[in-house]
Amino acid sequence: MPAYNATFDSTPTFVPAIHVAIVEDDPDFRNALRTVVTATADMQVADVATTRAEGLAMLQGPPADVLLVDLGLPDGSGIDVIQAAVALWPSCNIMVSTNFGDETHVMRSIEAGAAGYLLKDSSPAKMLDEIRSLASGGSPISPIIARQVLARFRTIRTDNGDNPAPPQATTNANGPAAATSAAPTPLSAREKEVLDYITKGFNTGEIAALMDLSHFTVRTFVRRIYSKLKVTSKTEAIYEARTLGLLPD
Amino acid sequence: MKPEPLVCCPIESPASHDIRMKNRSANLLSVLLLLASVALLIAVGAWYLQNDNAAEKTSLHLTQADWQERDSAAFVAPPASVASTSLSSYWQHSTLPGSLTPTPPLQDKTSASVRTTWVKLSMAGKTLPAGPLVLYGIRIKTDGTVAVYANGHLVHRLQAQGQLWSSLFTPLWVVLDQQDTAEPLQEIMIRVEHAANTPVALSSLWIGTPEALRGRYYLRQWLQRELPATLNAAFLVVGIFALCVWLRRRQETRYLLFFNLAAISFVGHLHYYVSLPILSGWFAWLTANALFWLLMVIHLFLCQLHGRRLFWLTRAIIGITLVSSILSSPIIDVLPVFPSTSLWVPLMYAIAVLMGLLVCIVGGISARHRSRDGVLLAAGVGVATLMGMSDWLLHNNIISPEGWFLGAYTNAITFFMFGTLMYRRYLHAIAEVEQVNASLAQRLLAREVELELSHQQLRAAAQRQTISDERQRLMQDMHDGLGSSLISAIRSVELGGVSESKVSQILKDCLDDLKLTIDSMEPVEADLLLLLATLRFRLEPRLEGSAIQLRWEVQELPTLPWLEPSSALHILRIVQESIANILRHTRADQIRVHTSHVSDGVTVTIDDNGQGFDVEQVMRNPAGRGLHNQQRRAQAIDGRVDWQSTSSGTRFTLWLPLQR
């Protein structure tokens, strides 16, 4: 079995520093995060906001590489900030910080455009690992979230059940993938396989071994899956950003 | 007349315009259909009687006759030929139609029972139409034999055995074959042999070509015999229909009564068209008594309609009917109905007429304001009684022998009345069904609303119960786990002497507990693996920090339909406790989690390679509280826990049932 913490050692030190922007009202966590990031050689804190309004204002500035957003802001929901960031900082990797990583919060954030989440009680090392993984195109996932994502794609497929794929498509070698190809944002067979393993309790390292992939590739699979979930709500996000006055018409 | 508007009302939508047009054309079609049907019937009638108009021109109407009577001891067959000169030279003159009653009355010295009446119709001095001739008359009213002579030769015989039941209703039609006698028709003689005390009555006669007289003859024949026969048959068919209805609906006796009425009516009217000789006593008995039976049944029917019992009238009617039926029956033969000269016959008809009037009047009064059908029926009885009276008058030569026996049509009246009754009943039933359907739909709607309301209440109650259960569960869990852990953390901090890392560990445990509580509320869709996966996901950071290797060797499991938040939390806590024990108390460096599907359940097995422990001893100790908790939680979800421990490791097994 490959070592789970393989990424700790494989972090390249020569890449440019990861710029981290933070929108967080809890001073303790904010400070802890700032301290940890500042102390890390390959990262730096780009900007810090404590309210939704500040967060939205921050998005008018230069984009960061990673944006950490808390959902429960004193003047509104962090979801607004995530949606605005999707429109204004398209290249930015958005991450939601959460106490429990529960399905309700995380799924909403992913649909709004977040690429990952950070458990607030994670160890500093784990936090840095998550930020690095996110910045390099990976995404974390939990079994409950994996099950929800699968359910979401099943719904999409059922919604398009009126137009079943032509028969020759189902006899394709990639059976399951071909069957889902009728959906607007279908999961590939490999992506579905990853999610299935996650719901059975296998961790990223184990799945990489089982599917003969690299540890990092598994996490990019998850990112792709998240972005497929996001697609349906992207136009909506742009519309909302416009109504918030964050985007020119 | 107002001009027809060219355009419809502008408010009207094209659709309703269409419908109206459709209705209008449908109405037009209906009217055309009706007119065509009626026209067809009229055309057939006209064609049937087409020769009638020419009758006056090519036929001779004989209204003067001479006649004489002779008594004899017995009936004698008529001679083949007879000359009028061979008879007595005393001829009485009569105008036809008329009754040939002797004036002055014949002195019945010989007390002979048979009398022969000769009727002479002279053609002398009259111009007869050319071609074959027929003799036509409406009827010869007699109970005896009839013979017709042309120029003294016998050409036709009627009722050779005496009167037939139908002869009163059968017109006379005699073809006068002139080929035998070269001489022109001079004289027609009719010989009638009859009972001495029943006078002969004769309608006026016609002589002419068959073409000229056929129309009259057919009309009489049809109206007097064929139409009553048809009506009678139709009435019987309707009666059979009513019988079929009664067979399916036994409680509605009026259908049976109706069938009874039809049967009696059929039997009672047979004599209008059945050519039986009047000899059979039973047939006469049936014909005469059918009147009483009819009246009795109608009376009972009326009582059903107006709902009054009319105790005495009913008894009287039933009584008279029974007495008449029994006494006049050929077996008892106290009051014979045949021959019609018996004392009983005129009395019987008088009683029948009286009874008819009584049934009509009492029935009408009783049904007034109560039953429109009853009034209709009573009126019908009245009309039928009057018709019967006209028959009686004709029988007794009080009115002209050319008149109509209207009694034949009484069943047309009955048929019409009961037809109306049934028609109204049918329409009423249809309206009722429609109404019932409408109210049924309404009731159904009301029930649906009621049901929806009670469903809502049930749902609300169920929801309250769920919330209450959930609260109970969380309270219990927080009390046992989170609460006590937090209290011990606070105590540790307050008492001092405990390292910060120890306090931090306690609090981290609390947070882990809380996370599992939250996870237990996530939808796991009866998937035990997903639940275990969630637990692993939560415990992973703790394991990462230790040197322990976790081997995750789970297998596909069947779904557990009973897996819901409260049972999920029990499972999470059992497995959590098991892993925590390994971390806390053993020096294991490897944990293996394994699942399998056994016959009637699933197992979760956790092996470690630690030093093991004495299960029984630990269970007896206060330190074994954790194991007891696991046992208790397992029992709460109908599961089992088991430990097998050796010095080289411990195997913990959680068994869960497939169904609960």
Cis before B339? omega within 30: yes
Q: At A124, which amino acid appears?
A: P
Give the model's confidence band at B199: pLDDT under 50 very low, under 70 low, under 90 confident, else very high. Answer: confident
* A125-167 pLDDT tens trace: 999 999 999 999 999 999 989 998 888 888 765 554 444 444 4
Given this model, what pLDDT does residue A235 score?
Answer: 58
A85-94, B126-135, B599-608, B647-656: which has the minimum mean pLDDT?
B126-135
Give the number of other Cβ atoms within 10 Å of residue B223's Cβ: 16
What integer is the mean pLDDT of A22-27?
94
Task: Look at A143 and B533 and tell me if their CB atoms are within 8 Å.
Answer: yes
Both tokens of B386, joined, read 């009057």
* A188 CA to centre of own chain: 18
pLDDT band (50, 70, 90) for residue A186:
confident
CA distance A214 to chain B (A): 19
Q: How many CB pairs under 8 A join A and B?
A: 58
Question: Can you tell me the mean pLDDT for B220-239?
Answer: 86
- pLDDT for the residue numbered B482: 79
Residues whose CB is less than 8 angstroms from the CB of residue B93 and which lie 6 or more positions away in sequence, other chains included: B64, B65, B66
| DSSP-assigned beta bridge partners for residue B135 | B174, B207
The secondary structure of A179-217 as a DSSP string is HHTTSSSPPPHHHHHHHHHHHTT--HHHHHHHHT--HHH
Name the segment(s) of chain A with CATH classification 3.40.50.2300: 6-138+239-243
B530 and A CB contact within 8 Å: yes
Give the mean pLDDT of B45-54.
65
The per-residue pLDDT for B655 is 95
DSSP state of B382: H
pLDDT of residue B423: 85
Return the axis-axis angle of helices A78-88 and A103-112, rounded to nearest 10°.
Answer: 30
pLDDT tier for residue B593 given thresholds of 50, 70 and 90: very high
Of residues B94 and A159, more confidence is placed in: B94
Residue B612 and residue B649: Cα distance in Å, rounded?
A: 5
Q: Which residue has the higher pLDDT, B13 or B186?
A: B186
Tens-digit pLDDT profile for residues B115-163: 888 888 888 777 777 777 888 888 888 878 888 888 888 888 887 776 6
Q: How far is CA B580 from CA B480, B535, B575, B627, in A?
A: 16, 12, 8, 11
Query: Residue B627: CB partners within 8 Å, gap ≥ 6?
Result: B615, B618, B619, B641, B643
Q: Note which residues in 209-248 of chain A have CB less than 8 A from chain B.
A: none
Average pLDDT score over residue span A13-21: 79
- Across A4-13, B335-344, B487-496, B579-588, the highest mean pLDDT is recorded for B579-588
Length of chain A: 249
User: Rounded mean pLDDT of B78-102?
Assistant: 80
Q: How confident is the model at residue B98 (pLDDT cuts 50, 70, 90)?
A: confident
The number of residues making up chain B comes to 660
Q: Mean pLDDT score of chain B, rounded to an integer?
A: 83
Q: Which of B162, B171, B187, B186 is nearest to B220 (CA)?
A: B171
Measure in Å the smallest separation between the Cα of B552 and chain A Cα atoms.
Answer: 7
- Which of A149-163, B293-307, B308-322, B355-369 has the least mean pLDDT? A149-163
Query: Residues B62-75, buried b or exposed e (16+ Cβ, 10 A)?
Result: beebbbbbeeeeeb
Q: Who among B511, B522, B544 is closest to A103 (CB)?
A: B522
| Cis ω before B104 (30° cut-off from 0) | yes
> Are A204 and A116 within 8 A, CB to CB?
no
Q: How far apart are CA B256 and CA B116, in angstroms?
A: 50
- Within 8 A of B524 by CB-CB distance, chain A residues are 144, 147
pLDDT at residue B35 is higher than 60:
yes
Q: How far is A122 from chain B (nearest CA, A)?
A: 8
| Residue labelled with tokens 């996901």 | B537
In this structure, the number of other CB atoms found within 10 A of the CB of residue B243 comes to: 16
Q: Residue A5: what pLDDT?
A: 41
B 498-527 near A (Cβ less than 8 A): 508, 511, 514-515, 518-519, 522-525, 527
Q: Which two tokens mark B346?
A: 């005129």
For residues A62 and B488, which has the higher predicted lDDT (pLDDT)? A62
Give me the half-sphere count of Cα atoms (radius 13 Å) on the Cβ side of residue A200.
Answer: 20
A50 or B397: whose pLDDT is higher? A50
Residue A70 sits at the vertex; the CA angle it makes with A67 and A73, to the nearest 5 degrees, is 125
| Average confidence (pLDDT) over A67-87 | 93
- Render B56-98 in DSSP notation, one character per residue: HHHEEEE-EEEEEEEEESS--PPPSB--GGGS-S--EEEESSE
Are residues B60 and B208 in contact, defined by beta-carbon separation less than 8 angstroms? Answer: yes
Residue B516: band (very low, low, confident or very high) from pLDDT cuts 50, 70, 90: confident
Tokens for A111, please give them: 């649909």
- Of the ranges B67-81, B151-165, B284-298, the best mean pLDDT one: B284-298
pLDDT of A9 higher than 50: no
> Which chain B residues contact residue A201 at CB under 8 A?
529, 532-534, 536-537, 552, 554, 593
Give every strand in the sheet of B133-137, ordered side by side: B59-62, B205-208, B133-137, B172-176
Asked whether the beta carbons of residue A143 and residue B552 sit closer than 8 angstroms, the reply is no
Round to the nearest angstrom and report the end-to-end CA distance of chain B.
88
Distance from CA of A144 to the nearest CA of B (A): 7
Chain-chain contact of A200 with B533 (C-beta, under 8 angstroms): yes
Mean pLDDT of B406-433: 84
pLDDT at A245 (0 to 100): 62
Residue A86: count of CB within 10 angstroms of its CB: 23
More confident residue, B652 or A103: B652
Q: What angle do CA B139, B143, B147 make, to 5 degrees?
A: 65
Distance to chain B for A146, nearest Cα, Å: 10
> Which residues lie below 8 Å from residue B382, measured CB to CB, with a gap of 6+?
B356, B357, B360, B361, B364
User: In sequence order, what DSSP letters do the residues of B589-627 get, joined into one string?
Assistant: SEEEEEEEEETTEEEEEEEE-S----HHHHHHSGGGHHH
- What does the pLDDT read at residue B56? 52
Q: Give the single-character DSSP code of B184.
A: P
Token pair in block for residue B431: 């309206």
Distances (CA, A) of A203 to A120, B545, B651: 20, 16, 23
3-state secondary structure of A67: strand
A 10 A CB-CB count for B339 gives 14
pLDDT of residue A157: 55
Residue B595 and residue B604 in contact, taking contact as beta carbons nearer than 8 Å: yes
Single-letter amino acid, residue A178:
A
pLDDT at residue B405 greater than cutoff 50: yes
Q: What are phi and psi of A247, to 5 degrees?
A: -125, 140
pLDDT-above-90 percentage for chain B:
19
Chosen CATH of A6-138+239-243 out of 3.90.420.10, 3.40.50.2300, 2.40.128.110, 3.40.50.300: 3.40.50.2300
B214 has pLDDT over 60:
yes
Amino acid, res. B303: C
Tell me which chain B residue has its CA closest to the CA of residue A195: B530
In 3D space, the residue among B221, B247, B266 whose CA is nearest the CA of residue B414 turns out to be B266
Region B182-208: mean pLDDT is 82
Residue A232: what pLDDT? 53
Give me the pLDDT at residue B336, please. 63
Among A131-145, B174-188, B303-317, the range scoring the smallest mean pLDDT is B174-188
ipTM value for the complex: 0.79
Strand B172-176 to strand B133-137: parallel, antiparallel, or no bridges (unpaired)? antiparallel
Judged by CB atoms closer than 8 Å, whether chains meet at B533 and A201 is answered as yes
Quote the DSSP letter at residue B252: -
> What is the pLDDT, as a whole number, of residue B343?
61
CA–CA gap between residue A248 and residue B373 (Å, rounded): 88
**How far does the CA of residue B519 sit from the closest CA of chain A (Å)?**
7
Could you tell me the two tokens for B174? 């005699």
Residues of chain B contacting A202 with CB distance shorter than 8 Å: 533, 552
- Chain A residues 75-134 with a CB less than 8 Å from chain B: 100, 102-103, 121-123, 126
**Angle, in degrees to the nearest 10, between helices A78-88 and A215-243:** 100
Q: In what order do the strands lie in the sheet with B640-646?
A: B549-553, B590-598, B601-608, B649-657, B640-646
Q: Is the pLDDT of residue A215 over 60?
A: yes
pLDDT higher than 70, residue B11: no
**Between residues A235 and A194, the one the model is more confident about:** A194
- Backbone φ, ψ for residue B545 (5° rounding): -75, -20
Q: Which residue has the higher pLDDT, B171 or B86?
A: B171
